């Protein structure tokens, strides 16, 4: 048997194993949970904390957790919106308790001491670190106000560190808990015109996987979720589609993956999208994203000009 033929068999075997792994992963993440084979989150604790919970993915997670029977603690900036979401969640499950706390995560003063004090006596089972901000539209770095980029760091990065520092000790003490950190598919590739935002999400993804390795022996689940587009105020997508689902659809799907995968795109079309784009060389992806976002930037600037 020739060397080339042997190498061909080896390559075919590797591809076959990779395909089998992909099929098994797909079934475990997106099929079996719908049949009831999913992690029992309620055994981790009575309460779930969700940051950035008045819109989009955060609100979707809060509602999905309520359906799973957990009490929900909503932390976000706008108090009146928090009250509205509180009513929505109580309408979903009137047997659970809901608490709200208005916090602006862009301010670093003593907000985390306040949060720590507020939740001191609660049995926290799940923390969803969702709060996040981006630029109003794709833009060149030097044309973005310095405060905007500082807010991205404070909200997207510092909040992950500090909320984990507040909640994780309580979980370690009882040897159970789950922390879900919402990154982004943009974390996988440097993204021109959204450079600081994408880099902040790369930090979220990286630190999450490192924390998971550090604390898995303590019984703690720490998961990185990397969604693509979802209907929300941040994405400015109003109509749902297969590849841009409603926040409720995405959050329900992603929550089903907790305890199964440490890193996931949360929703099967997003998983497929990532698989396809990751076939491209990184340089090609960077160029592709730059081209797409340049077009969005032009449209945004034209819209802003008309509004003047």
At 194, the pLDDT band (50, 70, 90 cuts) reads: very high
DSSP designation for 156: I
- The residues pairing with 224 across neighbouring beta strands, listed in sequence order, are 181, 263
Distant-in-sequence, close-in-space partners of 111: CB < 8 Å, separation ≥ 6? 103, 104, 105
Residue 302's Cβ-side half-sphere holds a number of Cα atoms within 13 Å equal to: 6
CB atoms within 10 A of CB 163: 23
d(CA 10, CA 34): 36
d(CA 86, CA 88): 5
Burial class from Cβ neighbours inside 10 Å (0-12, 13-18, 19+) for residue 80 reads exposed
d(CA 304, CA 102): 30
d(CA 158, CA 265): 22
Note the maximum CA span of the chain. 74
Mean pLDDT of 220-238: 93
- Report pLDDT digits (tens) over 42-100: 999 999 999 999 999 999 999 999 999 999 999 999 999 999 999 999 999 999 999 99
Q: How far, CA to CA in Å, does 91 sit from each of 84, 86, 167, 186, 232?
A: 11, 9, 28, 34, 21
Alpha helices in 188-281 (DSSP H): 195-215, 247-255, 268-277
- Is residue 20 scored above 90 in pLDDT? no
Place of tokens 């919402």: 182
* Annotation says 289 is catalytic: no
At 221, the pLDDT band (50, 70, 90 cuts) reads: very high
d(CA 180, CA 54): 17
Q: Do residues 103 and 74 make contact, with C-beta atoms less than 8 angstroms apart?
A: no
Q: Do residues 74 and 85 make contact, with C-beta atoms less than 8 angstroms apart?
A: yes
d(CA 26, CA 35): 14
At 109, the pLDDT band (50, 70, 90 cuts) reads: confident
Confirm or reject CATH 3.40.50.300 for domain 38-307, answering yes or no: no
Q: Do residues 51 and 102 make contact, with C-beta atoms less than 8 angstroms apart?
A: no
Alpha helices in 137-267 (DSSP H): 146-152, 159-174, 195-215, 247-255
d(CA 304, CA 137): 11
* Residue of 197, 215, 267, 289 marked catalytic: 197
d(CA 180, CA 223): 5
At 1, the pLDDT band (50, 70, 90 cuts) reads: low
d(CA 20, CA 17): 5
pLDDT of residue 18: 75
- The residues pairing with 122 across neighbouring beta strands, listed in sequence order, are none
pLDDT of residue 248: 98
Structure tokens at 184: 């982004």
- Is residue 198 scored above 80 in pLDDT? yes
What mean pLDDT value characterizes the chain?
95
């Amino acid at each position: 048997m020739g060397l080339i033929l042997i190498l061909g068999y080896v390559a075919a075997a590797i591809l076959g194993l990779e395909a089998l792994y992909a099929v098994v992963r797909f079934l475990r993440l997106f099929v079996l949970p719908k049949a009831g084979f999913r992690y029992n989150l309620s055994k981790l604790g009575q309460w779930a904390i969700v940051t950035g919970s008045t819109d989009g993915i955060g609100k979707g997670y809060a509602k999905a957790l309520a359906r799973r029977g957990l009490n929900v603690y909503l932390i976000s900036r706008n108090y009146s919106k928090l009250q509205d979401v509180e009513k929505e969640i109580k309408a979903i499950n009137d047997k659970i308790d809901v608490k709200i706390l208005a916090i602006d995560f862009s301010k670093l003063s003593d907000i985390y001491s306040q949060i720590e004090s507020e939740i001191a006596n609660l049995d926290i089972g799940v923390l969803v670190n969702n709060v996040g901000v981006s630029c109003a539209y794709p833009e060149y770095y030097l044309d973005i106000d310095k405060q905007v980029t500082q807010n991205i760091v404070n909200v997207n990065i510092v909040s992950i560190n500090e909320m984990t520092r507040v909640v994780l000790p309580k979980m370690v003490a009882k040897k159970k808990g789950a922390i879900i950190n919402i990154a982004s598919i943009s974390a996988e590739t440097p993204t021109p015109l959204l450079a600081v935002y994408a880099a902040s999400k790369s930090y979220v993804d990286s630190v999450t996987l490192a924390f998971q390795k550090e604390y898995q022996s303590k019984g703690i689940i720490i998961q990185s979720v990397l969604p693509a587009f979802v209907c929300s105020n941040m994405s400015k997508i109003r109509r749902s589609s297969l590849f841009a689902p409603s926040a409720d659809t995405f959050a329900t799907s992603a929550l089903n993956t907790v305890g199964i995968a440490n890193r996931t795109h949360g929703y099967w079309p997003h998983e497929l999208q990532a698989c396809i784009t990751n076939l491209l060389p990184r340089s090609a992806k960077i160029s592709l994203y730059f081209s797409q976002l340049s077009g969005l930037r032009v449209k945004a600037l034209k819209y802003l000009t008309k509004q003047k």
